Amino acid sequence: MLDLKQIRQNPQTIQELLDRRGIGQYDLKPILELNQRQRELETSRTQLQARSNEIGKLIGQKIKAGNSPNSPEIQALRADGNQVKSTLSELEPQEKELKVELEALLLTLPNLPSESTPLGKSEQENVEVRRWGDQYLPENDKILPHWEIGEQLKILNFERAVKIAQSRFVTLMGAGAALERSLINFMLAQQTTAGYLEVMPPMLINSQSLTGTGQLPKFAEESFKCDADDLWLAPTAEVSLVNLYRDEILEASQLPINHCAYTPCFRREAGSYGRDTRGLIRLHQFNKVELVKIVHPSTSEEEHQKLVRNAEAILEALKLPYRTIELCTGDIGFSAAKTYDLEVWLPSSGKYREISSCSNCLDFQARRSNIRFKEVGKKGTQFVHTLNGSGLAVGRTMAAILENYQQPDGTVRVPEVLQPYLGREVL
C-alpha cells in the first residue's frame, strides 16, 4: 500500500511514477478528494468533540458554584450539548464510511516503480542483463517438445489428469514423479545451504493474507476460493511466508529473515486464454520452491541481488542455459518496485521462457501487512522491506531438463547434481 501522507504531500510526483506503469491506468484524484472530505469531517468532529467537552465542563462548574441543575442557564447548556452530540453521532459514521472507501481505493494502487527500473510500456522493452550457459546448448537439432518426450517416456500423463480434474493439470508417473521430488529436494537443499530457513506453511490462506501481499482485491479472479470458508488455495508461498509476520513489530537484530518453502501453487490463469495450452508451462496446479526475504530498508537492494543469485545458482548447478532480464516499468508486477526475471532456454521452441521472477517490493507489502521493526536507541518503528523470488518453478525446470538433456535416441540424461537424488543417470 502506498503512503497516504506521501500521496497528499506529493501528488504530482506519485502520479508521474504511477504513469510509468501506463498512462491513464491509475488516477489519484478520487483518493485526494476522499481524503480531503475525510480530513474536513475529522476537523469538524474534533471541534465538536472539544465543544461537547467544554459544555460538560462548564455545566459541572456552574452546578458546583451553586446553580440549580434545573435553572434555565443549565438547561440551555444541556440543550446545546445534546445538539452537539446529535451532530457528532451523524458525523462519526460518515467519517468511518469515508475511511473504508479510501482504504478500498488505496488497495487498488500498485507499488511505485523504483527509480532504477527501466522505462517501458511492455515486455518488449525489458532489458537483458546477462546470459549464461551457451556452452551447454544441446547439439540435437531434432528436439521434441517436453510434453512429447515426457509422454513417450511415460512420465507425463495429461489425459488421465483431465479425468481427475480438467485441462491444464498433469499427472506425473514413475520417474516423472521421482524427478519432480528430486528437484524439490535439490532446490531446498541448495537454498537452506545458502542460509534460508525452510518453512512448510498451510496450503489454505485467508483473505487478509492475500490482501497483505497484494493479490486481493485486484487479482481475485486469478485464485481458487473455498466458497464455504474465507480461505483460498495458495497462489504462491510468498503469501504465506510474508504473512507469518503480519501485524508484528520485529527487532532490527532479527533482520534479515530468509525463508524458503516448497508448496503446490494454484492459479486460474484467467488472463492467459489460449496461451501455453500444452505442457508444463502454464498449469492450474504446479510446484514451486519460493524464496522470501524480510529485510532492513538500508540493505534491500543488496539483498535483492543476493536473492537473484540464489535463484540463478540453481540453473547453473543444473547446467541449464538462461538469461536474466530486468523488467521495465510497464511489465513489473502489482506489488513490485523492481524485478528481475530468469528465463531458461527451451530448445524445441528456440525461446527463453520465464522460470523465476525475483522482486523487491520495498515497504509496499509491509504497509499492507503492518510489518514493522524497531532499532535499539531509536524512537518509533519503521516498515520492513520484503523481497520474493522463485527458486525455482519446479515444473518449468523439469520441462527445461527434458528438452536440454534430450538425446538423439529418445532418452534424457539426468543432470549430474540430480543423480544422487534420483538414483539414475538416464530417463
Is 357 annotated in the active site? yes
The residue assigned the cell 510509468 is: 20
Of 111-115, 136-140, 201-205, 333-337, minimum mean pLDDT range? 136-140
- Mean pLDDT, all residues of the chain: 95
Predicted local confidence at residue 67, as pLDDT: 82
Alpha helical stretches, state H, 194-224: 207-213
Helix intervals (H) in 207-265:
207-213, 237-243
Which of 8, 354, 375, 413 is the catalytic position?
Answer: 354
Structure confidence at residue 84 (pLDDT)? 87
pLDDT recorded at residue 320 = 98
For the question of residue 353 being annotated catalytic, the response is no
196-201-206 Cα angle (round to 5): 130
Active site residue 396: yes
* Residue of 282, 323, 353, 413 with catalytic role: 282
What value does the mean pLDDT take over residues 5-12?
A: 96
Inter-residue contact 395 to 280 (CB < 8 Å): yes
Report residue 66's pLDDT band, with 50, 70 and 90 as the boundaries.
confident
pLDDT over 70 (residue 272):
no
pTM above 0.75, yes or no: yes
CA atoms of 308 and 389, how far apart (whole Å): 8
266-274 — which CB contacts under 8 Å span 24+ positions? 266/223, 266/224, 266/233, 266/234, 266/235, 267/222, 267/223, 267/224, 267/235, 268/221, 268/222, 268/223, 268/224, 269/168, 269/222, 270/221, 270/222, 271/222
Coil, strand, or helix at residue 210?
A: helix
Q: Which of 20, 267, 367, 368 is catalytic?
A: 267
For residue 311, which of 355, 252, 270 has the smallest C-alpha distance? 355
All structural domains of the chain, each given as residue ranges with its CATH number in brackets, are 4-106 (1.10.287.40), 123-422 (3.30.930.10)
Distance CA 109, CA 14 (A): 11
Give me the percent of the chain exceeding a pLDDT of 70.
Answer: 99
Of 357, 359, 369, 390, which is the active-site residue?
357
Looking at the predicted structure, is the pLDDT value of residue 101 above 60?
A: yes
pLDDT in tens, 164-200: 999 999 999 999 999 999 999 999 999 999 999 999 9
> Burial of 250 by CB count in 10 Å (0-12 exposed, 13-18 middle, 19+ buried)?
middle
Which residue type sits at 165? A
pLDDT-derived band at 89 (thresholds 50, 70, 90) equals confident
Q: For residue 49, what is the enclosing H or E element?
A: helix 29-64
The pLDDT tens digits of the residues spanning 331-369 come to 999 999 999 999 999 999 999 999 999 999 999 999 999
55 confidence band (pLDDT: 50, 70, 90):
confident
Which pLDDT score, from 0 to 100, does residue 417 have?
A: 98
Distance separating the N- and C-terminal Cα atoms of the chain: 48
Q: What are the backbone dihedrals phi and psi of residue 417, each rounded to the nearest 5 degrees, phi first?
A: -70, -20
Residue 40 has pLDDT above 70, yes or no: yes
pLDDT digit string, tens, across residues 126-157: 999 999 999 999 988 889 999 999 999 999 99
